[in-house]
Chains A and B, each alone.
Chain A
């Protein structure tokens, strides 16, 4: 028990590495605040473009979405980070991570928004168009406001998954929370930094999981 506490919950070590972990958490949050809005906007753009029902365009959009839903994000990240320099495109680590994660999450958000838009009966679009609204106005003022309620659980679920994804950045040495914890563990020969990082992730993400469970329950009750 003593050995367990000394190796996993060592407060002296925690005090030493705490500033490093906080710096890592800061990078994780920064990454989240950049990737989530970017991925969400790109996804919304794709879903709105899809609602115009242009055949060739929709084929291209669906292909993009399915391709990147099937592509492991870590493979994509390694590609962007290690492969692009071979063709002369050299991105700085943070930008490479942002690019890879945005591509990945945009496809998931696009799918959520598309399903949400299509869940609103077609007659609504026809009715709004017949009042003289353009397709874009219809989307913005009639369809999306109704779709938002239904999409919320899936949107929250995607935000959760995106924050979890930021930990992949540690593989390409971006000094986010997991990477800092690994380095601190290497320096101190002690697992406390890893446990502390896991607890920080849990503190950050558990409330979102709880919120998600509640939303899913409410949605099921509404049906």
Chain B
């Protein structure tokens, strides 16, 4: 029991590395917020463009969404961080994490929103257009507000996945929570910093996970 406390919840280590982990947590939050905002914005833009049903444009949107849903985010980060410098483009780890995770979030947001928009009955479009709204107005004021409601549960799960993915930034020297915990672990030869980081992630994400559970209950599959 003592070895467990000494190794996983060592008070001295808690005090010594607590501040560093807290700064790392702020970095995790900063990266998450930027990635999520980027993903929501471009996902919304792409889904809206897709609603115009231009075949050639939509082909590119589908290819983009497929690639970023198929490739493991760590592979994307590694390719960009270690590959681009060979073209003379050197981006910081933070920029690489932001761009790649932002693209992944964009792809998922676009897919989820598009599925939501398609599930709105066609009559809603017809009704909106017949009141004199233009196509864009119908999309913005009639279809999207209803679609957003439908997509809240899957999108919340994606938000959780995205925040968890920010831990991948530790592999490209972004001083976020996991990478600071890793350094402290090596320096102090003690796993307490890792426990702190784990608690940090749970504080950020457990409320969201429990929230999705309640959402799923509210929007439960229709009981036939």
Residues of A within 8 A of B (CB): 3-4, 7-8, 62, 66-67, 69-75, 78-79, 82-83, 86-87, 115, 118-119, 121, 150, 160, 163-168, 170-171, 178, 181-182, 185, 190-191, 194-195, 197-198, 201-202, 205-206, 208-210, 213, 216, 220, 223
Contacts and interface: CB of A to CB of B under 8 A. Distances in A.
B202 A71 contact: yes
User: What DSSP secondary structure best describes chain B's contact surface?
Assistant: helix
B138 interface: no
Interface in B177-204: 178, 182, 185, 190-191, 194, 197-198, 201-202
Contacts of A216: 115
Contacts of B8: 83, 86
B191 A83 contact: yes
Interface stretch (B13-21, B125-133, B140-148, B208-216): B208-216
Contact of A202 (B70, B118, B164, B167): B70
Contact of A182 (B78, B185, B202, B221): B78
A86 B74 contact: no
A205 B70 contact: yes
A197 B185 contact: no
Interface of B: 3-4, 7-8, 66-67, 69-76, 78-79, 82-83, 86-87, 111, 115, 118-119, 160, 163-165, 167-168, 170-171, 178, 182, 185, 190-191, 194, 197-198, 201-202, 205-206, 208-210, 213, 216, 220-224
Contacts of A167: 72, 74-75
B7 A86 contact: yes
B189 to A, nearest CB: 8
A198 B206 CA distance: 32
Contact of A119 (B83, B118, B221): B221
A115 B163 CA distance: 24
B86 A190 contact: yes
Given A86-B191, A182-B78, A210 B73 contact: no
Contacts of A194: 78-79, 82-83
5 contacts: A69-B160, A74-B164, A78-B178, A119-B221, A209-B69
A70 B75 contact: no
> Which 8 residue pairs are nearest across A and B when measured between Cβ atoms?
A70-B205, A72-B164, A164-B72, A191-B83, A83-B191, A167-B72, A205-B70, A72-B167
